Amino acid sequence: MKAVILQSPGGLEQLFYTDVLDPKIRADEVLVRVRAVALNHLDLWVRRGMPHLKLEYPHILGCDIAGEVAEVGSLVEGVKPGQKVLLHPGLSCGRCERCSEGRDNLCSRYQILGEHVRGGYAEYLAVPARNLLPYPENLDFSQAACLPLVFLTAWQMLVDKGRIRPGMRVLVHGAGSGVGSAGIQIAKLFGCEVFTTAGSDEKLARAKALGADFGINYKKENLLEAVTRVAGKQPIDVVLEHVGKALWKESLLCLKWGGALVTCGATTGPMVETDLRQVFFRQLQILGSTMGSRASQFEILRHVAAGRLQPVLDRSLPLSEAREAHRLLEEGGAFGKIVLVP
């Protein structure tokens, strides 16, 4: 099959479009023909290399995958060749206490497609049958591939950890990112007032079309001053944070007493400045978040099917143009997801 392999950690020059052996499935797996795979910042981090990540090279990136069942393992029931599927990106043991509680993303053996194991930058991928999700029939493959990781991540951050409720004020960073564009929609779904940030007025206009109430161009305005001018001192109940160093300090200062900052990433750097007096005296919560439970995917997809949540697709490119897709994502000009199509 054709695939894009990562030869070793590094720059764009380490991505190669080439022929690799077709994957073989186990009895409890299905072979999926990949029709679309969306990029995430996770792809960039894995490509560059992370200290804790020990991979067998060549590696295949890609965790957000939509496609069709090509082959079914002998122990798999209720799945047929040709069936459209969306894939849950998280892999867990399925047997431990956390998995049994429905908190599979806290499994000690948790892995993510494209990060810890080979992913979807390929024509075919073998996955456990339990990772199949209902396909949203109102979407094409490129749109569907925009959904799994970013909507699940934003859902856990806002709904499960931030416990958003109607009337809350939510600050969503990075309106043009996958997680940001998903977070705006989820916060509005729950009746919140949404503040969001972006690096251009064009992105802020598109964010308002998704439902954001107030937009802040962080390249032109100080975040804290802009939020205070609109809503007064310390008005934010929950911050959806994945930027890291650049906006961390101001994000904490925006929070109400007892407010929560939920973080899932660090695109501008992981080393941040935190005044602990602000945290303990104002009783703030700083919560880490990675992915979400597989069960939440089904609730999210019901909202997608009803049109209450929608994928945000920036553009689709051929799989052979993976280097260009990475370049575009690194430049930060996209609004929503960039998708590769084998």
Q: Answer yes or no: is pLDDT of 51 > 90.
A: no
Q: Is residue 306 part of a domain?
A: no
What is the average per-residue pLDDT within 268-291? 95
Q: Answer yes or no: is pLDDT of 206 > 90.
A: yes
Find the CATH number of the domain harbouring 51: 3.90.180.10
**Residues 76 and 161 reside in one and the same domain:** no
Buried b (16+ CB within 10 A) or exposed e, 136-151: beebebbbbbbbbbbb
Residue tagged 């599927």 (tokens): 85
Q: Is residue 304 part of a domain?
A: no
Give the residue among 181, 166, 190, 155 at the shortest CA–CA distance from 299: 155
Angle between helices 148-155 and 178-189 (to 10 degrees): 50
pLDDT one-digit tens code per residue, 293-307: 999 999 999 999 999
Residue tagged 């199509």 (tokens): 341
pLDDT one-digit tens code per residue, 114-141: 999 999 999 999 999 999 999 999 999 9
Q: Answer yes or no: is pLDDT of 326 > 90.
A: yes
Cα of 255 vs its chain's centroid, Å: 24
**Residues 131 and 167 reside in one and the same domain:** no
**Residues 139 and 55 reside in one and the same domain:** yes
**Residues 142 and 160 reside in one and the same domain:** no
> Dihedral sign, CA of 216, 235, 253, 230?
positive
**Residues 86 and 38 reside in one and the same domain:** yes
**Residues 36 and 108 reside in one and the same domain:** yes
Q: Is residue 31 part of a domain?
A: yes
What is the average per-residue pLDDT within 182-192? 98
**Residues 80 and 162 reside in one and the same domain:** no
**Is 73 strand, coil or helix?**
coil
Q: Answer yes or no: is pLDDT of 52 > 90.
A: no
Entry pTM: 0.95
Q: Is residue 180 part of a domain?
A: yes
What is the average per-residue pLDDT within 186-208? 97
**Residues 283 and 320 reside in one and the same domain:** no
Residues 173/215, Cβ–Cβ less than 8 Å: no
Helix, strand, coil percentages, rounded to 5, for the chain: 30, 25, 40
Partnered with residue 125 across adjacent β-strands are: 32
Residues, the chain, total?
A: 342
What is the average per-residue pLDDT within 255-265? 97
Q: Do you find a cis peptide bond into 58, omega within 30 degrees of 0? A: yes
pLDDT one-digit tens code per residue, 1-44: 999 999 999 999 999 999 999 999 999 999 999 999 999 999 99
Find the CATH number of the domain harbouring 256: 3.40.50.720
- Please tell me the predicted confidence (pLDDT) of residue 14: 97
**Residues 84 and 104 reside in one and the same domain:** yes
Q: Is residue 294 part of a domain?
A: no
Amino acid identity for residue 125 in this structure: L
Cα of 260 vs its chain's centroid, Å: 20
**Residues 100 and 15 reside in one and the same domain:** yes
Domains in the chain: how many in total? 2
pLDDT one-digit tens code per residue, 209-244: 999 999 999 999 999 999 999 999 999 999 999 999
Q: Is residue 328 part of a domain?
A: yes
**Residues 263 and 245 reside in one and the same domain:** yes
Beta strands in the chain (DSSP E): 2-6, 15-19, 29-38, 64-72, 84-87, 90-91, 111-112, 124-128, 132-133, 169-172, 193-198, 214-217, 236-241, 255-263, 285-288, 313-318, 337-341
Distances (CA, A) of 137 to 43, 66, 143, 182, 310: 27, 12, 11, 19, 13
**Residues 107 and 209 reside in one and the same domain:** no
Q: Is residue 296 part of a domain?
A: no
Q: Is residue 140 part of a domain?
A: yes
Domain that holds residue 53: 2-146+312-341
Residues 210/185, Cβ–Cβ less than 8 Å: yes
